[in-house]
Amino acid sequence: MRRLALTLLALLAAALATLSVSAALRDVEPPRLYYEAPGRLPAGASVELFVSADEPVTYVVSYAGEVRQEVAQDHVFVLTAAPGVNDVVVTATDAAGNATTASLRVHGVEPVELDLTAPGSLRAGDPLGLTLALRDNGAVVTSVSATFEGADVRLYRDGDVYRAVAATPFGVEPATGELVVSVGDEFGRVVSATLPVALEPLPVTVEQLRIAPSVLAAVTPEAQAMERELMAAGVASGADAPLWREAFVMPIAGRETSGFADARRYVEGGPVSYHNGLDMAALTGTPVVATNDGVVLVAGQYPIKGGWVMLDHGHGVFSHYFHMSSVDVAVGQRVARGERIGLVGSTGLSTGPHLHWEMRVDLAPTNPLQWVDRVWP
């Protein structure tokens, strides 16, 4: 009996020892988990989530309300990037029930949103002012551009918005111009907004000018080319940012004798041209002032334009003053709004004392009167 009891005790001890060894050997270590996914990508794009463990596991992936499950050691989950910032939660559970949970943040970046403001209708030749506001939605903006009727429009940053002034083309028929702005982001996406602008036609009554042959003799191909090249060189050297802060003013208080875009012939039966500026009659010697702050790009006497001053107001805006008897500024000089730059005369291609005043966006003429008493754009 005693021997049986000893045997039973020995068997019990062996069983307990076996259980202790099994407990010691049982898997209690959670799986080691490696995971990788892009942190930023366009909303709606595919998210490739790579997961890997040191043993086969059951993966459970939760992202933006979606749950995926897969049994594997290495696996790639293909998800769709949800808008905004969301966490991807990965749980890996091994056969013994040990689990490892990890998370990573994915930003599904939505496209930039545009708010374009511009007039819906203008008279042909009027300046066009536009304002562009952006909501970037976390995207990095890499480019901002604009065109009007296919021609590039200069944009400049003004605090939280972009602004620009464009020229509208001359036309004698009703037309619709197309203003297009485009914004690119870090992912190569381009978001565009298009705004149609109705253009009212210019008048078609043609005036036959009576100019003495001695005056017309100044209009030679060489003189035209020289003055055209001088104007183009000035435009190319203009300042990028606006130099003005106040409303534009009239350069003189003379009587208007020829309006902007008036149709005329310089020679009987010759081609029709449109007046690029505004003519105002005044007595010789009447002071001419700068329409706004700027820098002098051209100053001197020339065959066709006579006494000519060209001012750069920045951001592609230029003013021109022709036929002056005296030019009182020098190239490179900074002038203030309302500061005297010359005196009215009748030099160059002129039939009497007056000031010819132009407002151009780059090389394109615009209606000068539309600039007065306004802080553009």
Please compute the mean of the pLDDT values over residues 108-135 and round it to a whole number: 96
Residue 273 is predicted with a pLDDT of 79
Residue 284: pLDDT above 70?
Answer: yes
% pLDDT > 70, the chain: 93
Residue 19 is predicted with a pLDDT of 42
Determine the Cα–Cα distance for residues 76 and 55; give it in Å rounded to an integer. Answer: 16
- For the record, the structure tokens of 134 come out as 């952006």
pTM for the structure as a whole: 0.81
Helix (H, G, I), strand (E, B) or coil at 255: strand
Rounded to the nearest integer, the mean pLDDT of the chain is 91
Residue 297 is predicted with a pLDDT of 98
Contact 90, 31 (CB under 8 A): no
Contact 91, 170 (CB under 8 A): no
Determine the Cα–Cα distance for residues 223 and 123; give it in Å rounded to an integer. Answer: 32
Higher-confidence position of 375 and 36: 36
Higher-confidence position of 23 and 298: 298
Looking at this protein, which amino acid is placed at residue 119? P
Q: Which fold has domain 113-200?
A: Immunoglobulin-like (2.60.40)
The 10s digit of each residue's pLDDT in 228-273 is 999 999 999 999 999 999 999 999 998 999 889 888 777 777 777 7
Higher-confidence position of 295 and 1: 295
Residue 262 is predicted with a pLDDT of 84
Looking at this protein, which amino acid is placed at residue 74? D
Provide φ and ψ at 19, rounded to 5°. -65, -35
Q: What ranges do the domains of the chain cover?
A: 33-109, 113-200, 206-370
The 10s digit of each residue's pLDDT in 178-210 is 999 999 999 999 999 999 999 998 876 777 777
Determine the Cα–Cα distance for residues 360 and 168; give it in Å rounded to an integer. Answer: 11
Determine the Cα–Cα distance for residues 235 and 309; give it in Å rounded to an integer. Answer: 13
1 band by pLDDT with thresholds 50, 70 and 90: low
Residue 80 is predicted with a pLDDT of 97
N residues, the chain = 377
Please compute the mean of the pLDDT values over residues 329-343 and round it to a whole number: 98
- For the beta carbon of residue 52, count every other beta carbon within 10 angstroms: 18
Residue 20: pLDDT above 60?
Answer: no
Nearest Cα to Cα of residue 149 among 179, 193, 182 = 179
- For the record, the structure tokens of 325 come out as 């008897």
Higher-confidence position of 111 and 216: 111
300 band by pLDDT with thresholds 50, 70 and 90: very high
- What is the CATH code for 206-370? 2.70.70.10
Residue 24: pLDDT above 60?
Answer: no
- For the stretch 285-298, what's the b/e string if a residue is b when 16 or more beta carbons lie within 10 angstroms of its beta carbon? ebebbbbbbbbbbb
As to burial, measured by CB atoms within 10 angstroms (0-12 exposed, 13-18 middle, 19+ buried), residue 17 is: exposed
Determine the Cα–Cα distance for residues 190 and 188; give it in Å rounded to an integer. Answer: 6
Please compute the mean of the pLDDT values over residues 151-168 and round it to a whole number: 94
Residue 8: pLDDT above 60?
Answer: no
- For the record, the structure tokens of 124 come out as 């042909």
Asked if 33-109 and 113-200 have one fold, the answer is yes
| Least trusted range by pLDDT, from 108-117, 168-177, 312-321 | 168-177
Residue 343: pLDDT above 60?
Answer: yes
The CATH number fitting domain 33-109, selected from 3.30.2450.30, 2.60.120.1440, 2.60.40.2950, 3.40.640.10: 2.60.40.2950
